Amino acid sequence: MPDTRSAREIFVTFARIGASGFGGVNYWVRRILVQEKRWITDREYLEGLALGQIIPGPNVYNLTVMIGYRFGGVRGAFAAVGGLLGVPLAVLLVLGLLYNRYSALPVLQHALAGMTAVAAGLLLANAVSLAAALPRRALPWSFLLLAFIGVGVLRWPLLWVMAALSPFAMASVWRRR
C-alpha cells in the first residue's frame, strides 16, 4: 500500500509541472499526475484540491506539498516544492530585473497598463464564476458584500475584517447542517 517515489523523481515531475504552467498550473497537475503518470486518480485530485481550498495559501502549492509528502514524506514534499518553484522563480527574477531597468520606457508603461486591465478582468472573472456557485440566499451574499466594502472600499486591515466576519460566516453554515 505505501506507494513511494524517490525524491529525485518527485522533483523532476514537479519541475515539469512548474515549467509548463503558463497560464495556470492546475491543468498540468491533472494532466501529468493523473493522466500521464497515474500517481493519483481523478477523484484523489479533486479531493486534494478541495482540501487545498481550506488550507491558506496557493491552492496548487498546497496540493503539491501534500502529494510530495504522500509519495516521499517530508523530503518528498520539499522535493516537490523545489521542482514546482525552481523555473518560475528564475523567470520571475529575470522579469524583475528587466522591469527595474526598462520600466520608465513609455511603450512598456502602456503595455503594462493594458496587461493590468486584463489581469484585473481575469481575476474578476475567476471571482464571478466562483460567486455564481454561492447559494442564492441573503446571508452568504451579505458576507461577500461586507468583506468587499470593508477591505476594498473602506480599506480596513484585512485581518480585522476577517476576524470580525469569519466566526459569523462559519457559524451561519454550521447551523444549516
Q: Restricting to residues 70-129, which ones interact with another protein according to CB under 8 A?
A: 70, 74, 77, 81, 84-85, 87-89, 91-93, 95-96, 99-100, 103, 107, 110-129
Q: Residue 155 — φ and ψ, nearest 5°? A: 60, 40
Place of cell 503594462: 112
Closer residue to another protein, CB minimum distance, 12 or 125:
125
Residues that contact another protein, how many (by CB under 8 A): 93
- Cα–Cα dist 28/10, whole Å: 15
CA atoms within 13 Å, Cβ hemisphere of 25: 20
CB of residue 82 vs another protein: minimum separation in angstroms?
Answer: 12
User: Which positions from 151 through 170 interact with another protein, judged by CB under 8 A?
Assistant: 151-153, 155, 157-159, 162, 165-166, 169-170
The piece of 4-12, 32-40, 65-73 that touches another protein (CB under 8 A) is: 65-73
The dihedral region occupied by 137, where left means phi > 0, alpha psi between -120 and 50, and beta the remainder, is beta
Give the shortest CB-8-to-another protein separation in angstroms: 20
Establish if 4 lies at the interface with another protein (CB under 8 A): no
SS3 assignment, position 41: coil
Binding another protein (rule: CB under 8 A), the pick from 5, 33, 52, 79 is 52
Residue 155 DSSP one-character state: -
Q: Is 136 in the site for another protein (CB under 8 A)?
A: no
Among 4, 24, 36, 41, binds another protein (CB under 8 A): 24
How many C-beta neighbours within 10 Å does residue 62 have?
18
12 binds another protein per the rule CB under 8 A:
no
Residue 83 CA to residue 168 CA, distance in Å, equals 39
34 counts as binding another protein under rule CB under 8 A = no
Q: Which of 30, 32, 59, 82 binds another protein (CB under 8 A)?
A: 59
Backbone φ, ψ for residue 152 (5° rounding): -85, -40
C-alpha cell at 26: 492546475
